Copies of this chain bind each other. A is one copy, B any other.
Amino acid sequence: MNVDILNPSSIAIIGASTNPKKISTVILQNLISGGFNGKVYPVNPKYEEVLGRKSYPDILSIKEDIDQVCIVIPAHIVEEVVDQCIEKKVKSVVIISAGFKETGKEGKVLEENIAKKLKEANIRLIGPNSLGYINNIDNINLSFARKNTGKGNIAFISQSGAFCTAILDMACEDDFGFSHMVSIGNKADIFENELIELFDNDSNTSAIALYIEEFSDGKEFVKLAQKSKKPIIVIAPGSSEKAKEAISSHTGALASSYDTITTAISKANTILSESSVELYELMKFVSSNRIPKGKKVAVITNAGGPGIIATDNIEKYDLILSELGEKTTKKLFSVLPDAASVKNPIDLLGDALADRYDQAISFCENDNEVDSILVILTPQLITDIVGTAEKIVKIKNKTSKPIFVCFLGNHDIKNGVDLLKEYNVYTSNNIEATIKIIGKLVKYNENTIKSDIVEVKDIKTSSKYIRDVKDCLTSEMVILPDDITENILKEHDIPIPQQIITPHIENAIEFSVNRFPVVIKATSKDLAHKTDFKAVYLDIRTISEFETKFYELRESISKVTGITSPDILVQEMIVGNAEVFIGANREGDSQIYEDEGKGFGHLIAIGQGGIYTEIHKDIKHILIPTSREDMLQALDNTKLSIVINGFRGKPKLAKEKLLDMLENIQRMLISYPQIITMDINPVMLTEDKVVAVDVKLYIKD
């Protein structure tokens, strides 16, 4: 995207009027009072003049070229203006008006028409259903926000305009600013990814924040975020079933599954925020502080109780209470009173004045065992609140170690807190929330030194049976027949039990006789969805037992399907030391891995198999394409890995072979993107082999 879209040299505002309460007027007002130094053209046939400027009946009446047109008129007359924009050859359009995709079918068609026309004319579009945008670097406020802030270094991209207004209202109170804020609305053209790329390369922006209900191109988003040089903070509501319904009625978007979003956000190494307040706090912190380099936190407090609360939360959020160096302890010992605690959490005692804080913070700042410092103050009798704040500000200005401050209270602490805020010191009255934020920042930093980014083109594909697969595609999801499944699995070196599919008992017995014990099953094709049907006989050990079971199974299949001589699947029986589940789901259509394919692609799930899959839900997710290392990490995060790694004197299982299988499954899924769902349960894992015993592949276009 060209940066000009957020920095046009001239803007026409369609619908601008003299009514100060109208959105169009507010936008014009914001633009002018914000100090925009390009040309501004109010367009409204009803007026000769608006806010002291000549008003035009339409854009075609304006003689000069126009860079950008901002449309603030009812939805049903927007298309007409869009046609004029095309005729006028403007460069970009911002549609503020609501009444499009978010209102239903009719609105969706209208929106698609407009977007298509603009695209063909090579005109970029922000919106519709947008609050507009603010570019504080170039003094452009083309929004109807009631407030704007000063310049800052955070770029905020939001799918919700109201969310922008709430964040702006918080920021105003704190003198906290943004470089840009873009309300992308229904995202008919420009969506988050282009803006992320833009801001990642913008020297005025040091971090990017996102409010996203639906990722327009998940695969691309992950790649962009992985490559980003700046922290990206994301709030992505809409994970619950009910929320998905609400989103759909609100922006017409189709939300991704919770598993996909959380896996994607983690893979993309963004900082995931769980509430608007947390998003805001994270923005504030990253805007003026370095990110902690590690998990070790020193806690300095003037009261024992809050120190204990901090200690609990440091454990809860996977951080480490620093073991202070001997030097630090000695120095603390030499300056603090006897009753003070020189161990972390450092308790300066209730009569601590600013000097004790000053000393303790300075000592910790110089201790290599400390990655970040949490300063806690309770307003006790002689506590020097402002004095302590002053000391903290001084140290903050010269240290590279992040300092987090919790002054507990609200009334007496106010002057101290105001001072801290003025100098961009992170401050909160909530110890737990603060430590949660430290935890998120540390995790972000840990992941920043990333392994190589794997792209689809890096994966060696093979799709000899693509014709067979495509022949099976229908408009609905269908199960792939066992023989094609077998071919595809073998093509990708995914071990399955030795097996035969035959309607003839002689062939079946010939196969089985040297392989007992065996298993017999109905084939997927015949009985895929009949889960209550007894379609599997395990552990058959003799020919006579085999005959009995074979006829029994044949009869019951015939009864249900009407086929007199159905195919029967006979497999050697594999006994594993552990049963593994490997599943996959595709998000996006089957063109997902091609250039224009949008969505997140396949999400592989791995965890404990057998009946406990559903009971313990010990499942971790892998968003492909990815590296073997990431697969290992997901596997190691399952509890199953405790068994695989050898538990309580039991042998280690064939972990490397399981990883081979995961890599092969990745190749298979990318080779056959028609696979929409894969279900392998169980994969049998022994000390030296791994076998996919029961594989079901479902396809859809």
Which residues of chain B are within 8 angstroms of A307 by Cβ–Cβ distance?
246, 250
Please report which residues of chain A, range 258-303, place their CB below 8 angstroms from some CB of chain B when the two chains form the complex: 274-278, 302-303
Check if A643 is an interface residue, CB within 8 A of chain B: yes
A243-B311, A276-B306, A276-B429 known; 14 other A-B pairs, CB under 8 Å? Answer: A162-B350, A166-B303, A166-B409, A169-B409, A169-B413, A170-B410, A211-B305, A237-B305, A238-B308, A240-B311, A241-B315, A250-B341, A275-B430, A616-B616
Question: In whole Å, how far is A315's beta carbon from the nearest beta carbon of chain B?
Answer: 4
Check if A532 is an interface residue, CB within 8 A of chain B: yes
Which residues of chain B are within 8 angstroms of A411 by Cβ–Cβ distance?
147, 169-170, 172-173
Q: How far is the CA of A583 from the CA of B287 in the complex (A)?
A: 51
Q: From A213, which residue of chain B is reached at the shortest CB distance?
A: B308
Please report which residues of chain A, range 99-126, place their CB below 8 angstroms from some CB of chain B when the two chains form the complex: 99, 102-103
Most chain B beta-carbon contacts within 10 A, residue among A99, A250, A642, A649: A250
Q: From A26, which residue of chain B is reached at the shortest CB distance?
A: B381
Which residues of chain B are within 8 angstroms of A649 by Cβ–Cβ distance?
532
Which residues of chain B are within 8 angstroms of A615 by Cβ–Cβ distance?
639, 642-643, 647
Check if A530 is an interface residue, CB within 8 A of chain B: no
Check if A163 is an interface residue, CB within 8 A of chain B: yes
Assuming the A-B contacts A173-B410, A339-B103, A429-B277, are A304 and B251 also in contact, with contact meaning beta carbons closer than 8 angstroms in the complex? yes
Q: How far is the CA of A160 from the CA of B347 in the complex (A)?
A: 13
Check if A49 is an interface residue, CB within 8 A of chain B: no
Question: In whole Å, how far is A421's beta carbon from the nearest beta carbon of chain B?
Answer: 12
Q: Indicate if the CB atoms of B304 and A160 lie closer than 8 Å.
A: yes
Which residues of chain B are within 8 angstroms of A254 by Cβ–Cβ distance?
none
Q: From A143, which residue of chain B is reached at the shortest CB distance?
A: B381
Question: In whole Å, how far is A499's beta carbon from the nearest beta carbon of chain B?
Answer: 24
Q: From A144, which residue of chain B is reached at the shortest CB distance?
A: B381
Q: How far is the CA of A166 from the CA of B243 in the complex (A)?
A: 37
Q: How far is the CA of A302 from the CA of B163 in the complex (A)?
A: 11
Q: How far is the CA of A684 from the CA of B408 in the complex (A)?
A: 52
Please report which residues of chain A, range 208-260, place their CB below 8 angstroms from some CB of chain B when the two chains form the complex: 211, 213, 235, 237-243, 246-247, 249-251
- Choose one: B146, B147, B163, B433; the contact of A305 (CB below 8 Å): B163
Q: From A235, which residue of chain B is reached at the shortest CB distance?
A: B309
Q: Indicate if the CB atoms of B410 and A237 lie closer than 8 Å.
A: no
Check if A431 is an interface residue, CB within 8 A of chain B: yes
How many monomers of this chain does the complex have? 2
Which residues of chain B are within 8 angstroms of A242 by Cβ–Cβ distance?
311, 314-315, 321
Q: How far is the CA of A492 from the CA of B323 in the complex (A)?
A: 49
Give residues in A with beta carbon < 8 Å to B.
21, 23, 26, 98-99, 102-103, 144-147, 158-163, 165-166, 168-170, 172-174, 211, 213, 235, 237-243, 246-247, 249-251, 274-278, 302-309, 311-312, 314-316, 321, 339, 341, 343, 345, 347, 350, 378-382, 408-414, 429-433, 532, 611, 614-616, 618, 639, 642-643, 647-650
Question: In whole Å, how far is A58's beta carbon from the nearest beta carbon of chain B?
Answer: 25
Question: In whole Å, how far is A313's beta carbon from the nearest beta carbon of chain B?
Answer: 8
Q: Indicate if the CB atoms of A99 and B315 lie closer than 8 Å.
A: no
Question: In whole Å, how far is A298's beta carbon from the nearest beta carbon of chain B?
Answer: 13
Q: How far is the CA of A145 from the CA of B412 in the complex (A)?
A: 12
Question: In whole Å, how far is A527's beta carbon from the nearest beta carbon of chain B?
Answer: 16
Q: Indicate if the CB atoms of B26 and A246 lie closer than 8 Å.
A: no
Question: In whole Å, how far is A645's beta carbon from the nearest beta carbon of chain B?
Answer: 11
Most chain B beta-carbon contacts within 10 A, residue among A144, A305, A380: A305
Q: Indicate if the CB atoms of A99 and B339 lie closer than 8 Å.
A: yes
- Choose one: B98, B339, B347, B616; the contact of A339 (CB below 8 Å): B98
Give the top 7 A-B pairs by smallest Cβ distance, nearest first: A169-B409, A162-B303, A160-B305, A250-B304, A166-B408, A240-B315, A173-B410
Most chain B beta-carbon contacts within 10 A, residue among A98, A144, A211, A242: A242
Which residues of chain B are within 8 angstroms of A314 by Cβ–Cβ distance?
240, 242
Assuming the A-B contacts A144-B381, A276-B306, A339-B98, are A409 and B170 also in contact, with contact meaning beta carbons closer than 8 angstroms in the complex? yes
Q: Indicate if the CB atoms of B381 and A23 lie closer than 8 Å.
A: yes
Q: How far is the CA of A345 from the CA of B242 in the complex (A)?
A: 9
Q: How far is the CA of A491 from the CA of B568 in the complex (A)?
A: 56
Q: Indicate if the CB atoms of B169 and A277 lie closer than 8 Å.
A: no
Q: Indicate if the CB atoms of B250 and A308 lie closer than 8 Å.
A: yes
Question: In whole Å, how far is A668's beta carbon from the nearest beta carbon of chain B?
Answer: 28
Q: Indicate if the CB atoms of A412 and B350 lie closer than 8 Å.
A: no
Question: In whole Å, how far is A432's beta carbon from the nearest beta carbon of chain B?
Answer: 4
Q: How far is the CA of A168 from the CA of B409 in the complex (A)?
A: 7
Q: How far is the CA of A429 from the CA of B166 in the complex (A)?
A: 9
Q: From A316, which residue of chain B is reached at the shortest CB distance?
A: B240
Q: Indicate if the CB atoms of B409 and A238 lie closer than 8 Å.
A: no
Question: In whole Å, how far is A384's beta carbon from the nearest beta carbon of chain B?
Answer: 12
Q: From A145, which residue of chain B is reached at the shortest CB distance?
A: B381
Which residues of chain B are within 8 angstroms of A408 by Cβ–Cβ distance?
166, 169-170, 276
Which residues of chain B are within 8 angstroms of A308 by Cβ–Cβ distance?
213, 237-238, 243, 246-247, 250
Q: Indicate if the CB atoms of A277 and B430 lie closer than 8 Å.
A: yes
Question: In whole Å, how far is A382's beta carbon from the nearest beta carbon of chain B?
Answer: 6
Question: In whole Å, how far is A599's beta carbon from the nearest beta carbon of chain B?
Answer: 21
Q: How far is the CA of A459 from the CA of B648 in the complex (A)?
A: 39
A-B contact pairs, 18 of them (CB 8 A): A147-B412, A158-B305, A161-B303, A162-B303, A166-B306, A168-B409, A173-B410, A173-B411, A173-B414, A235-B309, A237-B312, A238-B308, A242-B321, A246-B304, A250-B304, A250-B341, A275-B433, A277-B433
